[in-house]
Amino acid sequence: MLANALTRLDEAAAHLNIDSDVLEKLKFPRETTQVRLMIRMDDGSRKSFMAWRCRYDDTRGPTKGGIRFHPDASADEVETLAFWMTFKCAVMNLPYGGGKGAIKVDPHALSKAELERLSRAYIQAFSRIIGPDRDIPAPDVYTNSMIMGWMADEYSSIVGATTPAVITGKPIALGGSLGREDATARGGFYLIRRLAKELGLELGARVAVQGFGNAGQHIARLMAGDGYRVVAVSDSRGCLHNPAGLDVAAAIAAKKEGGLAALGQVKGNEWLPPEAAIGIDCDVLVPAALEDMIHKDNAEEVKAKIVLELANGPITPEADKLLAQRGIVVLPDILANAGGVTVSYFEWVQNRQGYYWTVEEVHQRLKAVMETEGWAIWQRSKELGITMRSAAYVHALARLAQAIEAHGTQQFFTA
């Protein structure tokens, strides 16, 4: 996985005049720690779980990235995700490097008490690696604000001081930020709005959303509220389609109450298989489910002219090329879904200030960052005649290279 991800680095470097030292530094993770965690299960037995934390690069600041609980987690995956975080933070100009962590576990097979013991064990094992000025975790796949609360609490007990800034994505009651809940979708929404004229999007443009969880529901709500016509939303069970436009509030309510399928009976709506979402006739396709959903075998089905990648890595490299050949503009994940990490950064800033912002302040600051970086990347893509994805990597690499060079030959590393 990491070898594939690194091809982006070489592609971006071809557009910049940078020192080979920069590439040497970014080609390898700075440190990856592997630990076997041992916890007591509810039945009194002991069980062990493999866990990792990778600090890929800390040139631009403390490393930042989520912790994932997943049965398929691996060191390679953690390092690849940490590489992406390095670039995502640089794209948004956040004063962070990139990191990531994981535990190889099926969290659904644990009781709540076991999950809490495992989360605390992770912090006990990695307490010397993480820290508000060193490495700041956050939620990722199958981890949530409750788990971040336990983790922040465990870290605070270990260091003997309340330290909310060690972790983001916490419950509001423990120093979480307002506006984090819909930050990923909202960031993507501000980006689309900023570039609407350049992308040829007009009022009433049709949107299809694949994946109707946190990111998918919020983007559908925000875009419908702004006058876009949401013609399809899908989840792992099927795709709800109505060419005249769906009632998004009803779809969100149906999803909460037991499933989107119930709305398939409503006049004008139709209920299709989940894979239909990719080929829906629309102007903007929003993949907001899992990785690799658009691949070489279905890329030709895409009818949208714009793809807003709210999911991480939803388009395979082969499909990416096929879409580019057809002139489809892909707003890439490291920009389009970076609203989440940006509001995580705001949470860290508020924790350190001990002064908390209103939701309006969070929205206004997020909008400013998305618009500034989105516009700069758009201009770079036009100047260099490259895709928005390549332009985002070039934009990030230029910042990383400047920071690496500014450190001088005796590069300072945190201990």
Closer residue to ligand NAD in complex, CB, 296/382: 296
Q: Is 392 within 8 Å of 377 (Cβ atoms)? A: yes
Burial class of residue 215, CB neighbours in 10 A (0-12, 13-18, 19+): buried
CB of 206 to ligand NAD, least distance (A): 18
**Interface with ligand NAD (CB under 6 A), residue from 2, 310, 328, 386:** 310
Please tell me whether residue 311 binds ligand NAD under the rule CB under 6 A: yes
* Segment interacting with ligand NAD, rule: CB under 6 A, options 208-216, 322-330, 351-359, 378-386: 208-216
Please tell me whether residue 212 binds ligand NAD under the rule CB under 6 A: yes
Catalytic annotation present for 305: no
Pick from 21, 22, 30, 27: nearest CA to 8: 27
Closer residue to ligand NAD in complex, CB, 290/403: 290
**Interface with ligand NAD (CB under 6 A), residue from 233, 288, 331, 369:** 288
**Interface with ligand NAD (CB under 6 A), residue from 33, 127, 145, 214:** 214
Residue of minimal CB distance from ligand NAD?
A: 213
* Segment interacting with ligand NAD, rule: CB under 6 A, options 5-13, 170-178, 188-196, 288-296: 288-296
Please tell me whether residue 177 binds ligand NAD under the rule CB under 6 A: no
Please tell me whether residue 213 binds ligand NAD under the rule CB under 6 A: yes
* Segment interacting with ligand NAD, rule: CB under 6 A, options 33-41, 149-157, 160-168, 211-219: 211-219
- Residues 6 or more apart from 21 whose CB is under 8 A from it? 404
* Segment interacting with ligand NAD, rule: CB under 6 A, options 46-54, 101-109, 210-218, 394-402: 210-218
Q: Which residues of 94-118 are buried (b: 16+ CB within 10 A; e: fewer)?
A: bebbbbbbbbbbebeebeeebbbbb
Please tell me whether residue 143 binds ligand NAD under the rule CB under 6 A: no
Q: Which of 64, 88, 100, 104 is catalytic?
A: 100
CB of 169 to ligand NAD, least distance (A): 8
Distances 167 to 90, 116, 243, 307, 354 between C-alpha atoms, Å: 19, 16, 43, 31, 15
Please tell me whether residue 210 binds ligand NAD under the rule CB under 6 A: yes
Task: Give the CA radius of gyration of the chain.
Answer: 21
Please tell me whether residue 316 binds ligand NAD under the rule CB under 6 A: no
- DSSP, collapsed to helix, strand or coil, labels residue 329 as strand
Helix (H) or strand (E) holding 90: helix 75-91
Q: Is 398 within 8 Å of 379 (Cβ atoms)? A: no
Closer residue to ligand NAD in complex, CB, 185/329: 185
DSSP-assigned states of every residue in 333-359:
HHHHTTHHHHHHHHHHHHHHHT----H
DSSP-H helix ranges across 137-182? 145-159
Q: Give how many residues touch ligand NAD by CB under 6 A.
A: 20
Please tell me whether residue 344 binds ligand NAD under the rule CB under 6 A: no
Maximum CA extent, the chain? 68
Closer residue to ligand NAD in complex, CB, 120/186: 186
φ, ψ of residue 256 to 5 degrees: the values are -70, -35
Determine the length of the chain. Answer: 415
Q: Token match 């999950």: residue?
A: 115
**Residues of span 220-279 touching ligand NAD by CB under 6 A:** 234-236, 274
Please tell me whether residue 96 binds ligand NAD under the rule CB under 6 A: no
Please tell me whether residue 215 binds ligand NAD under the rule CB under 6 A: yes
- DSSP, collapsed to helix, strand or coil, labels residue 284 as strand
Q: Look up residue 351 and give its two tokens.
A: 């924790």
Catalytic residue numbers read 100
Site residues for ligand NAD per CB under 6 A:
184, 210-216, 234-236, 274, 288-290, 310-312, 337, 340
